[in-house]
Amino acid sequence: MHETRAAHPKKNESPAIPEDRGILSPDQAQTATGHFDLDSPEWSLNRELSWLAFNRRVLAEARDERNPLLERINFLAIIGSNLDEFFMKRIGGLKQQVGARVKLLSTDGRTPQQQIDECYEVIRELLDQQQRLETEVLGLLARENIHIRRYADLNRRQQEDMDRYFHDNIYPLLTPQGMDPAHPFPFISNLSLNLLVATRHKEGEHSYLSRIKIPAGAGIPRLVRVEARRHVYVFFEDIVANNLDAVFPGMVVESCTRFRVTRNAITNRLMDQAVDLLVMIESALRERKFAEIVRLEVDADMIPHHRIMLASQLRLDSRKDVFAVDGIMAKCDLRELVAIERPGLHYPAHMPVDHPKISQDAPNIFHLIREEGPFLLQHPYQSFTATVERFLKEASVDPKVMVIKMTLYRTSANSQIIEYLLDAARNGKQVAVVVELMARFDESANIHWATHLEQAGIHVTYGVVGLKTHSKVIFVVRRDHDGLMRYAHIGTGNYNAVTARLYSDLGLLTSDADIGKDLTEFFNFLTLGYAPQRRYKKLLPSPNYLKKVFLGKIARELEHQSKGRGGLIQCKVNALTDTDVIRALYQASQAGVHIDLIVRDSCLLRPGIKGLSENIRVIAIAGRFLEHSRIYYFKNGGAEEYFIGSADLMQRNLDRRVEVVAPVETPALRAELRGILNLQLADRRGAWDMQGDGSYVQRRPQPDGEQRSAQEILIELNRKKLADEQKVMKRQRRIPKRKKS
C-alpha cells in the first residue's frame, strides 16, 4: 500500500503568505496542445536566483513569530553566513567567467554578468529586509532583558569596565597599519572585520588613514558581556573604536568606520594537472588566501571618498561591488547570542532517542544487524552516537572484525569517528579511509585528519583524480561463525556528530550480501583510482551509472502511465539542477505521470505549466533542522522501489562526484520512508509551494488542522516508537510467576 499525493491547498483555506517575487517574470504558458521546445531556456530557472530564493525562506523563518526569539536570531545569523558563502563560491565563480570572457550562457539563457547583476538586485533587497528585521528582533530581545548596546549608551561605570577590558584583553592584540607612501595598502584577509580610522595631529590639517583588524576566533568573542549577572553586550569593535586614544596617542580621531571583504573561494587549480593531490590542495588554500576580492561591505555612514578609495585599492567597482551596511556587520556572529540559556526563547529541548531496535543495552551490534536488520536510521530524531558511532566503535574492538573501510567528506573537530579508526588500526585491523581533500571550506581540516590517520598506519587515499568523493559509507568485513560477512552503513549525511543533531539525514545499517559485494567493488575503485567499469547488483554509484539508471526509471514510469498503470515519482533532494533529469521529468509529466518533488534549495524545473509540468508539484521544507536527506521513490506499476543516498539531482553529483545510492527493500523500512514522504508532502507548517515563475508561497495550517511541522511530528513519532519498543521488551523479559501447587 502506498499513499500517493497529499492534497493541494484549497481556495477556501487560510490565506498563504507569498514570498517576495522578482526571481523571474511569469512567461505566457503555452496551451496543452502547443509544442514545447525542452531545450528552450524559458523552461529552466536560474540556479543562482533559485538559491537566493532559498535564503528568502530562511529569512521568513527569522521573521516568523511562531519561532522562539533566539531561534529567529539564529536564522538571521544563518542568512549572513549563507550570503558570505554565496559570494565566495557563486559570485566568485561568475566573476571568473566574466574575467575570462566566457560566452557560454546558463541553462536559462543568462550571461555571467547578467547573473551577477540580477543576483545583486535580489541580494540588496534581502539585505534591506534583513536589516529591518534586525532592528525588530533586537527590540524584542531588549524586552527579554537581553541587550546589545552601543558603548556610548553604557553608563559611566560600565564604560570604565570596558576600558579596563580593552587595555587588559584587546589592546595587546591590535596591529594598526598606516596607509601612506611608506606604508602600502595592507593585505585584507577574507571575512575579517576592520576599522578604517582617519586621524590628524592636533595642530595639523593633513589626515592619516589607518587600518585596524579586529581579532576574531581563537576564543575571542565578538559580543563582549558587560556585566556577569546581566545579558548586556557591546560589540568588540565598538570598544576598540572608543579607545582609539590609546592606539593613536596625541592624535585627533576624525572618523572611524568598519569595512569587511569577501574573497573568491574558487581557485584555478586543475586536478588532472596535479602530480600530488595533497600538495595541490595545500597550494590552492594558499592561493585562496590571496584570491580576488568579490565584495566590500562598508558602514553606511562611511565618508564617500573613503569608500571610493577602498574600492579602488581592492580593485572593485564602487557602484556595484560595495554594499553599505546600516546595522550589524557580519551578522553571522549573532550566533553567539543563541548560546544564551533561556529555555523559553529556544525550541523545546530535543534529545535524539535511541533507535528502537538498537538500544544501549542490546547485544553485539553485528549480531543485531544480521539477525534483526537491516535498520533505517533517522537523524537527528535518533541518536547518531548510539548507532553510527557505535557501529564503528564496536568494529574497532571486535576481535572478529578484520577490515574497516570508509569514506570521509566532512567530520567534526573532536571527532569520535577518527578516534575509533585510530583504535581499529592499533587493534590490528586493516583500515582504509578515502578522505576527500576538496570538500570546500573543510580542506585544511581534512588534510589534518588525513595526515593524522596516515601516521597511525591507516591506508589513506584521496579518491579518484577529477572526481569528488561525496559518498557516505562505512564497510566492515567480519569473520562470523559461518564465514566472512560484510556489514555496512550507507548514509545521506556526513560523519559529523555536530551536524547529525542539526541536519535531517537517513542511514541504512545492513548485512545484505549483494550490497556487501557491491561495496567491495566500490572501494576497490576508490583505492585503485581507475577501472570504473564495475558491475553492481544493487548499489547505484555515480558517475557513469546512477544517472543512466535514474533516467531509465523515469522513462519506465512514463511507460507504466501509457499502459494505464499510473506512473508516480517522488523525490526528496537538496537540489534539482541537472538538465537531463529535468527534461525527463517534463516528458514524464506530459505523459501524465504524477511527480512530487521535495527540494530544499535550488530547483530549476518550473512546476505547474499547463501542457508541460502540470503534473509536477515542488515543495520546499524549512524549519528547525536543515533538510539534508535524499529519498527516491518509483511506483513501478506496483512493484515499488525506494532508494536513499548521498546524491542530489545535480550535474556535479551525477557526473563529477563519487556517490552511492542504495535500495531500501525491507517492507518495514519502506513504510518508514513512506511515512516521512507523506508527512512532508502534507506539511502545512514548514512547507512552501513553488510556483511556475520560481517564487514560493508559504503554506498555513487550518485553524482546526495540524499545527505542527513534519519535523515536530517526527520528533514525537520517534519518541513514541522507542517507548512502545521498550514496553514490548519489558514484557518479554518479565519472568512468569510460578503457580502454587
SS (H, E, C) 726-740: HHHHHHHHCCCCCCC
The Cα–Cα gap between 424 and 717 comes to: 35
Average pLDDT over residues 191-202: 95
Tell me if residue 484 falls in helix, strand or coil: strand
Give yes or no for residue 8 having a pLDDT over 60.
no
Question: What percentage of the chain reaches a pLDDT higher than 70?
Answer: 89
Count the Cβ atoms, other than its own, within 10 Å of residue 456: 16
Q: What is the mean pLDDT of residues 252-280?
A: 71
Alpha-carbon dihedral 285, 286, 287, 292, rounded to 10 degrees: 90
User: Which letter does DSSP use for residue 29 in this model?
Assistant: P
State the Cα–Cα distance between residues 582 and 588, nearest whole angstrom. Answer: 10
Q: Point out which residues pair with 234 in neighbouring strands.
A: 224
d(CA 679, CA 216): 42
Average pLDDT over residues 38-49: 94
* CA dihedral sign of residues 627, 630, 636, 639: negative
pLDDT higher than threshold 90 for residue 645: yes
Residue 211, beta-bridge partner list: 177, 196
pLDDT of 209 higher than 50: yes
Distance, in Å, from the CA atom of 193 to the CA atom of 667, rounded to the nearest integer, reads 54
* pLDDT tens by residue, 683-720: 999 999 999 999 999 999 999 999 999 999 999 999 99
Identify the sign of the CA torsion 691, 695, 696, 697: negative
- Residue bearing the bigger pLDDT, 274 or 198: 198
Q: How far apart are CA 380 and CA 506, in angstroms?
A: 9
Cell numbers standing for residue 322: 560595495
Amino acid 18: pLDDT: 36
Whether residue 6 is predicted with pLDDT greater than 60 in this model: the reply is no
What is the Cα–Cα distance from 516 to 476, expressed in whole angstroms?
9
**477, 398 contact by CB (below 8 A):** no
Given a contact cutoff of 8 angstroms between Cβ atoms, the answer to whether 277 and 465 are in contact is yes
Please give the pLDDT value at position 196. Answer: 97
Over residues 51-79, the mean pLDDT reads 97
More confident residue, 9 or 723: 723
Question: 3-class secondary structure for 521-551?
Answer: HHHHHHHHCCCCCCCCCCCEEECCCHHHHHH
The lowest-confidence range among 403-407, 408-412, 536-540 is 408-412
Q: Mean pLDDT: which of 93-107, 443-457, 492-506 is highest?
A: 492-506
Assign 273 a pLDDT band (cuts: 50, 70, 90): very low
- Please, are residues 77 and 58 in contact by the beta-carbon 8 Å criterion? no
Question: Binning pLDDT at 50, 70 and 90, where does residue 289 land?
Answer: low
For residue 15, say if its preceding peptide bond is cis, omega within 30 degrees of 0: no
Dihedral (Cα; 318, 323, 325, 329), 10-degree rounding: -110
Q: How far is residue 383 CA from its own chain's centroid? A: 20
* pLDDT score of 216: 79
The per-residue pLDDT for 246 is 96
The pLDDT value given to residue 568: 98
Residue 228, burial from CB neighbour count under 10 angstroms (0-12, 13-18, 19+): exposed
What the block records as the C-alpha cell of 352 is 535524539
The predicted model scores a pTM of 0.90
User: Does position 280 have pLDDT exceeding 80, yes or no?
Assistant: no
E-strand stretches of 133-291: 146-148, 177-179, 193-201, 208-213, 223-225, 231-235, 251-263
In angstroms, the CA 731 to CA 549 distance is 46
Residue 465, number of CB atoms within 10 A of its CB: 12
Indicate the average pLDDT of the chain. 89
pLDDT per residue as tens digits for the range 535-564: 899 999 999 899 999 999 999 999 999 999
Q: Known catalytic residues?
A: 470
- Give all strands (DSSP E) within 557-615, no chain letters: 568-573, 594-599
Q: Which DSSP symbol is given to 228?
A: S
Residue 449 is predicted with a pLDDT of 73
Q: Is the pLDDT of residue 155 over 70?
A: yes
Other CB atoms within 10 Å distance of the CB of residue 282: 15
pLDDT 10s digits, 578-595 = 999 999 999 999 999 999
Residue 28 confidence (pLDDT): 35
Rounded to an integer, what distance in angstroms lies between the CA atom of residue 416 and that of residue 389? 7
Of 419, 404, 415, 406, nearest to 442 by C-alpha is 415
Q: What is the pLDDT of residue 14?
A: 36
Lowest mean pLDDT among 460-464, 592-596, 604-608: 460-464
Residue 290 pLDDT grade (very low, low, confident, very high; cuts 50, 70, 90): low
Lowest mean pLDDT among 401-410, 537-546, 722-731: 722-731
CA dihedral 139, 141, 147, 149 (to 10 degrees): -30
Report the pLDDT value the prediction gives residue 231, as an integer from 0 to 100: 96
Give the up-direction half-sphere exposure of residue 133: CA atoms within 13 A in the CB hemisphere: 25
Percent of the chain with pLDDT over 90: 75
Judged by average pLDDT, the poorest of 23-32, 491-500, 614-623, 628-637 is: 23-32
Q: Which stretch of DSSP H or E encloses residue 339?
A: none
Q: Average pLDDT, stretch 430-438?
A: 84
Residue-level pLDDT at 707: 93
Sign of the CA dihedral with 96 first, then 101, 105, and 109 last: positive
Q: Is the peptide bond before 374 cis (omega within 30 degrees of 0)?
A: yes
Segment 347-358 shows an average pLDDT of 94
Query: 407, 473 in Cβ contact below 8 A?
Result: yes
Q: What is the mean pLDDT of residues 348-353?
A: 94
pLDDT at residue 285 is higher than 70: no
Question: Exposed/middle/buried for 530, CB within 10 Å: 0-12, 13-18, 19+?
Answer: exposed
Q: Grid coordinates representing 347?
A: 525550541
The band of 531, judged by pLDDT with boundaries at 50, 70 and 90, is: low
